[in-house]
Chain A
Amino acid sequence: MNVKSLVKRNYKKQPEIDFPDYKSSIFRAPKNKKISIPSNLEIFGPIFNKKTIGELDNDLTLNFSKNKNSPLGHKIIVHGTVSDQFSNPIKGALIEIWQANAAGKYLHQDDKNPAPIDPNFSGCGRSLTSSDGSYEFLTIQPGPYPYPNRGIEWRPMHIHFSIFGESFGQRLITQMYFEGDPLINICPMVNSIADEKAKKSLVGKLDTSRSNIQNILAYKFDIVLRGVKQTFFENRQEGL
């Protein structure tokens, strides 16, 4: 009998949950250690239907534009692949993104940053990965923005990513940053990750080969979800 299980998560490569430099974590981060249990239901997960994804869902320059007006700012391509820890591409993975507009403002009533809303930009997009695990978004370079933390601090330019692979246990929510942004290294949310290599893996790399073909700046961001292992078990006898 073949049994599937998820590769154990390596918390050394993940952010610290209880990280007071990020003030909002102080009263929200659980204090107890997580309890380790074998994955079971979490091996399965929802699979999203191609038919639910609209043609413009991955084009944020058009999916909210009025009368074909472009949002302000410069266009960028954000692309990459979703694979598991064994380098197997994951097809049909759902990627949902959200981001601020070029002025660093979200289309959200709770965003108190006094920057202008862009009537042609929602900052919302989604896509399913192709059979080779690849995805692509056309969007606008998000601006950095101030937010209250230890006084006013600035978030580096970023795009929020939510990803569903094949298993509920592979679920990932993260952020992509932009190569060269000086705000990355002073961001407490980034610095909640102690491991330098892990931190760097969140930085989208300028992809000049792609930019030159399409005349639009391109960034590459590859995403790795937890691996799913197949283990062979001898069929056990009743009562053992």
Chain B
Amino acid sequence: MKNSRNILDETPFQTAGPFLHIGCMPNKIKINNLYKNDLGEVPFKNKNEIEMITVEGSVFDGNGIALDDVMLETWQCDENGQFFEDNGFARFIPDKSTKKFKLLTVKPGQVENLDGKNQSPHICLSISSRGLNMTLNTRIYFEGDDLINDPILSMIKNDKVNIDSLVAKKIKKNVYVFDVFLQGDKETVFFDM
């Protein structure tokens, strides 16, 4: 057992800045002859036989402007609630003209909480950009799922938190909208976990 007094400090964050594409998705900015593919272009390989869902939306700043210089990263289990080391991760940015991001993925299954209760299907989402001194973490839950009995959502719902901001709205079959609000009345719930 290691002594807890010897615990090191975590290295501090600094902003990812406006040029994160160079390091994280060079092909997206036409630095083409370096990496064959950008990492996280698709969250799951070989899932053609499964119905996919689309999660789309924008990231808004405090002026209500949809940002196009943010990077979003998602981490999730597969449709059966299973984790795979080389699957389940995606990385994407909003489109320069529409300012919308689009994630094509499988709808995650339920995963077990520590106490054996099932957590409602969700996708972990992190957001990094210029102006954010630390990466932000939130979760995408899905309209139509049982959110009342979810152990995390029921744990935090007393805190007058904007639970609604964590739920992707279903607009048609297999298509969900999830907008992120960095500030304002609709400010998204961000987690420390």
Contact = CB atoms under 8 A, between A and B. Distances in A.
B8 A224 contact: yes
Interface string B30-68: 010111110110000000000000000000011101010
Interface stretch (B15-23, B99-107, B170-178): B15-23
Contacts of B6: 86-87
Interface stretch (A71-79, A102-110, A211-219): A102-110
B11 to A, nearest CB: 5
Interface string A13-42: 111110100101111111110111111111
A69 interface: no
A42 B9 contact: no
Nearest to B152: A37
Contacts of A233: 114
A29 B182 contact: yes
A84 B10 CA distance: 8
Contact of B193 (A6, A25, A27): A6
B2 A54 contact: no
A91 B159 CA distance: 39
B149 interface: no
A173 B124 contact: no
Interface string B150-193: 00100110010100000000000000000000110001111111
Contacts of A223: 11
B187 A31 contact: yes
Contacts of A126: 23, 35
Contacts of B113: 40
A227 interface: yes
Q: Taking chain A's interface residues, is the majority helix, strand, or loop, or is none over half, making it mixed?
A: loop
Contacts, number: 253
Contacts of B89: 45-46
B10 A110 contact: no
Interface string A86-106: 110000001011100000001
Interface residues of A, number: 89
Interface in A161-184: 162, 168-169, 171-175
Contacts of B20: 98, 160, 162, 173
A46 B14 contact: no
A124 B192 contact: no
A47 B11 contact: no
Given A6-B193, A37-B156, A162 B76 contact: no
Contacts of B63: 27
B7 interface: yes
Contacts of B37: 52
Contacts of A28: 61-62, 67, 129-132, 182-183
B115 A175 contact: no
Interface of A: 3, 6-11, 13-17, 19, 22, 24-32, 34-42, 44-49, 52, 54, 57, 63-64, 83-87, 94, 96-98, 106-111, 122-126, 160, 162, 168-169, 171-175, 189-190, 192-193, 195, 197-199, 201-202, 223-227, 233, 236
The list of the 7 closest CB pairs from A to B, nearest first, reads A98-B23, A24-B131, A28-B131, A46-B89, A47-B85, A27-B62, A15-B133
Given A34-B192, A37-B193, A98-B24, 8 more contacts: A30-B187, A57-B34, A86-B8, A173-B15, A173-B128, A197-B9, A201-B11, A225-B10
7 contacts: A15-B133, A15-B134, A27-B61, A35-B156, A85-B9, A107-B31, A110-B18
